[in-house]
Amino acid sequence: MGNPSVKDRIEKSRSAVSMLTEQTGAKLKVRSAVVLLVAVCLSMTAIAIWEAWNSRQYHLHDKEVAMSNLAQTLASQARASIKQADTLLFALVDRLENDGMGPAQLPRLQRLLMAQRSELSQLHGLFVFDEKGRWFANSNGANLPDANNSDREYFIFHRDHPDRGPHIGPSIKSRSSGEWIMTVSRRLNYPDGRFAGVALATIYLNHFLTLYDNIDMGRNGVINLIADDASIVVRRPFNEAEIGSSVAKGPLFTQLLPKGDSGTATVKSYVDGVERVVGFRRVEGYPLVIFAALDKEEVLTGWRAETMLSAGIVSLLLGFLSFLGFRLIRLMKQQNQVQSVLLDAQEKLIEVNRSLELLALEDALTGLSNRRQFDLFILAEMGRARRTQTSLALLMIDVDHFKSFNDQSGHLAGDECLRKISAIITDNIKRPGDLAARYGGEEFAVVLPGTDYVGAFLVAEKIRRAVQQAGIAHSTSPEGTVTVSLGVCAYDPAAQAQPDDLIGAADKALYVAKASGRNMSVIAN
């Protein structure tokens, strides 16, 4: 495979280069100075960018930790407030079921409810309803003879469920005072187990809002107390229209809670679309979740100011360094008296390098033939097949889902995968006259002289099965391993005058293989 013209030029260039060694040294010094200057500037820029990125991640992580701690504290506070009310309800239910709900017990029960309510500031009231939803007793001294709460969610729940545990209902407006309240209730039973009514404790939503409003959450931060059914119990900032609305499709219930009962993340709000740094935690013992979040843009405000100051200082240093470097390089260039000669030598070297590149016919990564050798080989074999009226076949091979493999495993693993597949292809084409080439990216080509489409299909299937049996792990592939799709085409001199015609036919077959589910060989029609 000789190329005398290139060799002659190489020999001539050697003598020219040896004569210009001393002159080239001056230019190399200039280049070294330029490279050093650029390297220093790029290093300073890279360090500044790296420090800015690390500072940004630190700011976000620091706020995630803060939100996690805040969520834990607020969850403990919510649990304590509800637990106090629930403890009163538990004792009240026990008393009513043992002493009964007759008229004789009513005055004493009223006094007891009023005394218990006065002990807890968060309590809006304590109420007892009979099995029809009529008011039996309350701590607020309200006298509503015709009032009936059988339509309330908590009453319907206890009437239809024998569960004796506490029930947290949705936030509602009190019928006696018109204030927003949270309900905690327990079922009352007759001695025979039949439904006897409901004992209810109501907690001011303002009890939670007062605490939440005293926490510095920035201009756009939020604190939510959310029920397990994804309805909002209370939200800061308070908006009546949002109470009871569902956030079931938001990231808290679709992404975060399925992974654990507590955690942190940076997500976009389902309610107002603002991206926030959040911390969340379930309230122990009750079907509630605390969600605390800071506006991401506000979190990064301080970081941006620091970054701009740092960028300004680095820019000044780079400008000063560039000025000094420019003056130094200019002085060095002035000393270069043979620049025109060196440029001519450089052009000759470039020409020689281009010629040497044309001689290189092997793909550096896989060791297979490269695209240039493939183009020369298939053109020659098509001419031979026409002259001798012999058969010729082409396989086009593509690695399935290779982009997702690269994205997941990294480019180094992707390169190793291509090398393994190249070795498998080589092992399955034994004849000296066959050619395997890397066509481009994750695509390969195999030229099979003296082979019809049947023989080519058998070779294609051997390669496909061998790749699958190699068991190269690929978690995002339906097969679980790396597979290949193949297009098979036999050369038809009447219809395929140029290599592009044959390659195009094989490519169409390959497209059909990939469109039909991949991991298969398809013969061109």
Distances (CA, A) of 94 to 19, 164, 187, 199, 330: 109, 11, 11, 10, 96
Residue in 337, 86, 73 with CA at minimum distance from that of residue 211: 73
Residue whose C-alpha is closest to residue 203's, from 139, 318, 267, 125? 125
| Residue 200 contacts residue 175 (beta carbons within 8 Å) | no
Query: For residues 213 and 222, is the Cβ–Cβ distance under 8 A?
Result: no
Q: Could you give the CA distance from residue 360 to residue 370 in angstroms, rounded to a whole number?
A: 8
Angstrom CA distances, 236 to 77, 220, 221, 232, 233, stand at: 16, 10, 8, 11, 11
Give the closest residue to 421 by CA, choosing from 464, 391, 453, 375: 464
DSSP H helices in 234-338? 251, 296-299, 301-334
Dist. CA 107–CA 126, nearest whole Å: 15
Is 351 an active-site residue? no
The one-letter code for the residue type at 480 is G
CA 481 to chain centre: 23
Say how far apart CA 127 and CA 112 lie, in whole Å.
11
3-state secondary structure of 280: strand
Cα dihedral: 29, 32, 34, 39 (round 10): -160
Q: What are phi and psi of 32, to 5 degrees?
A: -60, -40
- Contact residues for 33 (Cβ-Cβ < 8 A; gap 6+): 325, 328, 329, 332
Q: Which of 64, 131, 381, 442 is catalytic?
A: 442
> From the CB of residue 10, how many other CB atoms can be counted at a distance below 10 Å?
13
- Contact yes or no for 398/509 (Cβ under 8 A): no
- Tokens for 300, please give them: 């990064």
Q: How far is the C-alpha of 396 from the C-alpha of 417, rounded, in Å?
A: 18
The label of the residue with tokens 């592009």 reads: 500
β-sheet with 232-236: strand ranges across: 232-236, 222-227, 288-295, 275-282, 262-268
Going from the C-alpha of 1 to that of each of 114, 330, 447, the distances in angstroms are 106, 47, 20
Cite the active site residues: 442
